[in-house]
Amino acid sequence: MKISRRGLLLSGLGVVAAGGGTAAWALDRYVIDHVEVSNASQIVAPKATVATAGGSVTSTATSYASDTAKISIEKVETGSGDDKVTYFVADVQMTDATIVRSAFANDEFGQNIIANTSEIARDAGAVLAVNGDYYGFRTTGMVIRNGVAFRDSGARQGLAFYTDGTAKLYDETTTSAQDLVDAGVWNTLSFGPGIVDDGKPVAGIDSVEVDTNFGNHSIQGRQPRTGVGLLGANHQLWIVADGRSNGYSRGVTMTEFANIFVDHGAQTAYNIDGGGSSTLVFQDKLVNNPLGKGQERGTSDILYVAG
């Protein structure tokens, strides 16, 4: 039986139903949709020039090339038996950073709005997509998407993608969404932590807690993971490691995940939502095997390469 994150929350909240007000608050906070912005993709950043693929497009089962993007996907398997790890590396090179975009589930910004990564990707016309930072599960964090600021509530370390093709780790609490947009930030991710900085794994990342939201305290241990990294301007790595499936992939620790990025040349890398959400979609097909079951779990947003 397929159980979504929302389903798990709902069943858990049933246990505290006797609490009356507590259960009602939790249902409102974590289950009921709260749409703040509809048709979010129709909001265009001021003076933004968004690239389109254009020209000739070529693609194979594991690669894609157009006038604006070149993508290759590699499957890597290491170890064996209960120590086996399986992960996927998408190498993304582009001529215009604005073809890397974000999309919201149902094209709506708000809380508890979810859809499968493949569904959001299909609606957005994505060539390549990974699950995003699951912004809708929390009320804090910078949310700048495709040059538009949707939330200005700094709380943690974030990753900012700039229109010049660079990306930087930054402290959300020291700036504002408007300042970031003015500085040329195109997209932000707010989950973390940053796992590679200046080409080296960040110390202490195996003991980090993302936040204190219900059901989302810890990211420690061997887990399925999704992350994004930067080799240089307009050259990114998107890596998804499967996990929680003995004999197929046990998952990776945060430091192991960082080392995968370093081994592939990343100078900067950032961890985003993982677990059952970790999903890689290429040309409308699910590439990885979430939890060894081949089933996606709903998420609030994706990062994608426009086709």
- Position 33 pLDDT exceeds 90: no
* CA–CA dist 51, 35 (Å, integer): 28
- Position 224 pLDDT exceeds 50: yes
Read off the pLDDT of residues 190-211 as tens digits, 9 standing for 90 and up. Answer: 999 999 999 999 999 999 888 7
Burial class (CB in 10 A: 0-12, 13-18, 19+), 81: exposed
* CA–CA dist 245, 198 (Å, integer): 33
pLDDT of residue 10: 47
**What mean pLDDT comes out for the span 96-110?**
97
Residue 219 — very low, low, confident or very high, per pLDDT cuts 50/70/90?
confident
Instruction: Calculate the average pLDDT of the chain.
Output: 89
pLDDT of residue 211: 73
Quick one: tokens of 175?
């700036």
Residue 55 — very low, low, confident or very high, per pLDDT cuts 50/70/90?
low
* CA–CA dist 14, 306 (Å, integer): 41
**Contact residues for 225 (Cβ-Cβ < 8 A; gap 6+):** 239, 240, 241, 243, 251, 252, 254, 257, 271, 274, 278
pLDDT of residue 171: 98
Read off the pLDDT of residues 250-290 as tens digits, 9 standing for 90 and up. Answer: 999 999 999 999 999 999 999 999 999 999 999 999 999 99
Buried b (16+ CB within 10 A) or exposed e, 88-109: bbbbbbbebbbbbbbbbbbbbb
Quick one: tokens of 166?
């660079």
* CA–CA dist 239, 32 (Å, integer): 31
The partner residues of 88 in beta bridges, in order of sequence, read: 75, 240
Read off the pLDDT of residues 172-191 as tens digits, 9 standing for 90 and up. Answer: 999 999 999 999 999 999 99
Q: Which amino acid is at 271?
A: N
**Contact residues for 171 (Cβ-Cβ < 8 A; gap 6+):** 154, 157, 158
pTM: 0.87
Is there a contact between 124 and 103 (Cβ–Cβ < 8 Å)? yes
Residue 45 — very low, low, confident or very high, per pLDDT cuts 50/70/90?
confident
